[in-house]
Amino acid sequence: MSEMPRLWMRHETRPTEQRAPITPDDARTLTEHGIEVTVEESGQRVFPTVAYAAAGCRVAPRADWVNCPEGYYVLGLKELPSEPSALRNRHIFFGHAYKGQVGARRLLARFAAGGGALLDMEYLVDEDGRRLAAFGYWAGYAGAALAVLHRRGLLAPPLSSFSKDELDAGLRASRRGNPALGTTAVVIGAHGRAGRGACDALETAGIDPTRWDSADTEELDHHALIAHDILVNAIGTVRPVHPFLTEAGLDDPARRLSVLCDVTCDVASEFNAVPVYDKATDWESPVVRLRDGERPLDVIAIDNLPSLIPADASRDFSAQLCPLLLSLRDGSPVWARSLRAFRLASSSMGSQVAGSTETTR
């Protein structure tokens, strides 16, 4: 029988990151199956630390993961702090490092220096390449909701988190007596997780969106695209594609488009399908103007959109991730695929990790 995995859930360094990869209820499931779970203290996490302690988890000081013993899986969601420069252990989080994103080479080099490995949650896939644990629905929902509220003049930064019920109430209220009720929207990637979330939010706001998927983008109708008020890009790709929106499109005199919400946020990557902006936006400044004048155009490109709905998003994601964490004990092929993706990316970036003896057990 293989050794039981040990998990260490770290505090998130980004101040606006309130989600948790595992809820207290699912942490209890893990501990009841014999998996040791350590949870760092965190005042910003949507679930209180005491709830994890009551579920049988050990509690550690904030940021103590750098001192955790060998053999632990360090579990998180978003980026690691810039130090230490050498990363040991096996880390499970969204690394955003395999498509040439900003900081990707340095992150992989840190794993090379410490002999650790990244088991990227984005690459927890089945044998057909389908994602098994994702926040996509909530990213699409939150992103489309922000786009509508901004279009209707109701978005007031800085942003703060809310429940889905609260957000829905705000979207429904925005329909009453608003001069922008004639808003039109197109969602690219409408049949994926993020696209479905975006469409649901738009419908809650009283908008019946145009739904496009991969077949509709093979010969993209640019004039039809820019004839909408809102564009939500929710399509993820692992290969370069012809851009959906370009600088020429922004300056087209026929453009009606006034709000672009890029849920995918592949900024500075060759996979970016809407390369008309050069950096992500954030909770303090969620909207950046791309074109001014009589026909303004704004972009919303927040790379942790689901954290705006932290409790709902975390419960959904945790329910997907918990069975996968239980399978760590048996060396599941899901985790083996994630490790292979790490080695391939490390090798292609020259960080010399491809030959590591790291395993997923």
Catalytic center residues: 78, 96
Q: CB–CB of 214/235 below 8 Å? A: yes
Alpha-carbon gap, residue 256 to 338, rounded angstroms = 42
CA atoms of 304 and 265, how far apart (whole Å): 9
Question: Diameter of the chain by CA atoms?
Answer: 68
Residue 356: both structure tokens together? 């590591």
- Do 150 and 287 contact (CB within 8 A), yes or no? yes
Chain Cα centroid distance, residue 286: 16
Would strands 210-212 and 230-233 be described as parallel, antiparallel, or unpaired? unpaired
